């Protein structure tokens, strides 16, 4: 019974011709059934006629089939060879180049990594995984997928993670580069041996030997040869990393951040051909009619080339005949390269015989090579995750971590470019739907932007009804539909929940925020801290309780002043004291702000201190701001309306690590009693905290709504 070998993407007829010729020139495979499949009827027709003429020319007993039905093509196949290009040159590849170009991103080949590689993968992975699923369902037992489609590593990783059938990714960069290096070094190729490992298009010649001796000195001598100008990018990378990489300089220049984005001078210096893949495709298209005529045979016959160095036919032959061979394959990393992520797609030497593909354990790559590979693997992993989970956020993440795109584009441009690319591909049917994200973020919409947020805030500790407190509930509904919600509030003190509560039933229009007052029973001690709990049965609600601190007592110390301090993220931010000086209040403050930047228009956006004083009896809040000024000037005091407080006596000292402020203000102006207790709170705004921390806001009593109510204020007793 003949072996069925299926080519999916047979419309890539030039490549298909070479593969079919390679296979049929093995006598043991000459009676195979060659099944051709493509979605383009005309291309498929050309491929079938070409294959039949090859069978006749080679005088073999092979059978040629052709079908537009992928599942039928795979049915009973022992080997499936994939050479598809989803989206084609036009419009798929053109979109991958033209939209990024609008954002200032230059590319050369764009089929493996970078923005072009990412979107080619997003188009291709659903297609190649459907092929893999068909193989699992109707292929012959143990059917092997031989993938030639780029981006190789992402496609193979997705097949392994998404379906899990036997597969290998095949590329000709190892064969081609090894011959090229032998030529560069002036060596006979038959006397050269090598070991290569890494990831596809970024695997490295760990050993390059001539008759068992290290031949790398011959390559390094070329670095100083004024007459040698080939492969400038790859030679430069060898100079810096110590090893030669497998894929061309055109590819390599867009896998690392050292070349293209540095401008036209570097592009010219290293002979980097921008938009090279577009040029190649246009050239092929321009000569297609002539190529088609050659493929079909101008005089009725067809030429068949001698066997190429492509691995596909050798793998099939070794698997069928048990003739052992070593090929370089792209396979899942199962303890093969030990300092690259497990499960990633790696390129390593593989033994092939009747037992199939058997990858070689490499161990650790040199650390610098592993690090460069990981920079590409990060992008591959996120792209595969996006394709398999349909999570849109991972598309942005993949481009965000791409070594080339990250050197050229800001994050907002990356997001905008991805949005435009997604829309363009979806419009043409090349991409399915992805789960939405919060606009301009890398966070899924579900669970974040669709959450109904309910907040509660105490307005007064006493209500018109004895035994109740007055509370305000805010409900934000981001959904595109009206929401009916039942909310229950009840007090909790010292971990004891009140038996009674209050229920609020409210309708919130789509996309709107509603505020409503409610009186809540309060059976506890009003002089102690408590919590207002928000309870609802709705799963999509983020309910935020209100934590209320009732008059936290601050006692004076032995020197007759009351100390206080504020912490920002656990670090000391402000240390201060409140003292009495006749009819005045004196504040002494040390602020740890190492980047003093006051803002006169909106003080709370720069370096400043906010202070709040109130009379315990009427709780009317008096607010003012202190803004540090440049050296040699007095600190500035602003009233609540941001007018300067002319009569304030302020001294300051600005130092590299922060500033100190001393201010004296009349009790009467602060609205507090001439003697006795008063209520106090403060908020600090720091631009930078110390030498390594960003700034932020810190509140003495934990609330940034100090101007609205006084229940949480500290009580200052200077009597």
Active site residues: 172
Short-list 448, 489, 497, CA closest to 470: 489
Secondary structure of 539-604 as H, E, C letters: CCEEEECEEECCCEEECCCCCCCEEEEEEECCEEEEEEEEEEECCEEEEEEEECCCCCCCCCCCHH
Angstrom distances, CA of residue 57 to CA of 51, 293, 313: 10, 16, 19
Local structure of residue 306 (DSSP, 8 states): P
* Token couple for 31: 């009676």
Cβ neighbors of 552 (< 8 A, separation 6 or more) are 701, 712, 713, 714, 715
Question: Among candidates 228, 265, 226, 271, which has minimal Cα distance to 252?
Answer: 271
Dihedral angle sign, alpha carbons of residues 121, 125, 131, 132: positive
Instruction: Say how far apart CA 398 and CA 595 lie, in whole Å.
Output: 35
Tell me the three state secondary structure of residue 292.
helix
Question: Please, are residues 405 and 105 in contact by the beta-carbon 8 Å criterion?
Answer: yes
Q: Are 36 and 5 in contact (CB under 8 A)?
A: no
Short-list 540, 544, 512, 510, CA closest to 447 = 540
| 3-state DSSP assignment of residue 370 | helix
By DSSP bridging, strand 584-591 and strand 571-581 are: antiparallel
Determine how β-strand 345-353 pairs with β-strand 325-332. Answer: antiparallel
DSSP class of residue 337?
Answer: B
């Amino acid at each position: 019974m003949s072996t069925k070998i299926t080519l999916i993407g047979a419309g890539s007829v030039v490549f298909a011709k070479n593969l079919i010729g390679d296979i049929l020139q093995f006598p043991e495979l000459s009676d195979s059934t060659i099944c051709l499949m493509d979605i383009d009827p005309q291309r498929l027709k050309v491929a079938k006629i070409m294959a039949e003429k090859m069978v006749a020319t080679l005088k073999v007993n092979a059978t040629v089939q052709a079908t537009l039905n992928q599942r039928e093509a795979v049915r009973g196949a022992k080997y499936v060879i994939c050479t598809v290009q989803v989206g084609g040159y036009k419009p798929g590849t053109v979109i991958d180049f033209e939209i990024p170009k609008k954002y200032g991103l230059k590319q050369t080949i764009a089929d493996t990594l970078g923005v072009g590689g990412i979107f080619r993968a997003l188009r291709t992975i659903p297609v190649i995984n459907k092929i893999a699923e068909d193989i699992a369902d109707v292929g012959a037992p143990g059917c092997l997928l031989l993938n030639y489609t780029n981006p190789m590593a992402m496609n193979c990783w997705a097949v392994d993670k998404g379906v899990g059938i036997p597969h290998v990714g095949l590329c000709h960069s190892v064969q081609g580069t090894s011959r090229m290096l032998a030529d560069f070094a002036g060596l006979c190729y038959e006397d050269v041996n090598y070991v290569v490992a890494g990831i596809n298009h970024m695997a490295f010649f760990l050993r390059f030997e001539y008759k068992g001796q290290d031949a790398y000195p011959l390559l390094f001598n070329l670095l100083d040869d004024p007459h040698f100008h080939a492969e400038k990018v790859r030679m430069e990378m060898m100079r810096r990393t110590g090893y030669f990489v497998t894929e061309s300089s055109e590819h390599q220049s867009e896998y690392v951040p050292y070349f293209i984005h540095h401008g036209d001078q570097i592009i010219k210096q290293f002979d980097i051909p921008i938009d090279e893949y577009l040029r190649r495709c246009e050239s092929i298209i321009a000569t297609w009619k002539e190529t088609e005529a050659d493929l079909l045979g101008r005089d009725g016959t067809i030429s068949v080339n001698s066997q190429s160095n492509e691995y596909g036919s050798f793998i099939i032959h070794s698997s069928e005949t048990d003739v052992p061979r070593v090929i370089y394959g792209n396979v899942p990393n199962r303890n093969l390269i030990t300092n690259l992520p497990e499960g990633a797609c790696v390129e390593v030497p593989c033994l092939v015989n009747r037992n199939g593909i058997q990858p070689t354990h490499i161990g650790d790559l040199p650390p610098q090579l592993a690090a460069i590979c990981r920079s590409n693997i990060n992008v591959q992993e996120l792209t595969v995750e996006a394709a398999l989970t349909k999570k849109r956020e991972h598309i942005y993440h993949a481009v965000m971590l791409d070594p080339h795109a990250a050197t050229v584009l800001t994050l907002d441009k990356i997001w905008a470019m991805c949005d435009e690319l997604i829309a363009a591909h979806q419009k043409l049917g090349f991409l399915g739907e992805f789960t939405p994200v919060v606009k301009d973020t890398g966070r899924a919409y579900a669970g974040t932007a669709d959450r109904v947020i309910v907040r509660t805030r105490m307005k007064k500790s006493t209500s018109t009804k004895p035994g109740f407190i007055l509370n305000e509930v805010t409900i934000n509904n981001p959904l595109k539909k009206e929401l009916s919600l039942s909310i229950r509030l009840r007090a909790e003190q010292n971990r004891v929940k009140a038996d009674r509560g209050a229920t609020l039933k409210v309708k919130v229009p789509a996309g709107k925020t509603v505020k409503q007052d409610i009186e809540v029973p309060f059976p506890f001690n009003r002089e102690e801290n408590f919590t207002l709990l928000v309870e609802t049965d709705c799963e999509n609600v983020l309910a935020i309780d209100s934590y209320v601190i009732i008059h936290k007592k601050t006692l004076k110390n032995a020197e007759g002043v009351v100390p206080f301090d504020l912490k920002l993220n656990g670090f000391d931010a402000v240390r201060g004291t409140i003292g009495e000086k006749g009819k005045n209040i004196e504040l002494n403050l040390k602020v740890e702000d190492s980047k003093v930047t006051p803002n006169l228009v909106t003080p709370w956006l720069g370096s400043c201190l906010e202070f709040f004083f109130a009379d315990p009896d009427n709780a009317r809040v008096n607010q003012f701001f202190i803004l540090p000024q440049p050296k040699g000037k007095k600190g500035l005091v602003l009233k609540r309306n941001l007018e300067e407080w002319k009569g304030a006596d302020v001294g300051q000292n600005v130092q590299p690590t922060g500033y100190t402020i001393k201010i004296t203000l009349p009790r009467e102006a602060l609205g507090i009693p001439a003697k006795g207790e008063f209520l106090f709170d403060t908020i600090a705004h720091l631009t930078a905290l110390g030498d390594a921390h960003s700034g932020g806001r810190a509140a003495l009593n934990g609330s940034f709504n100090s101007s609205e109510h006084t229940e949480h204020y500290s009580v200052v007793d200077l009597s």
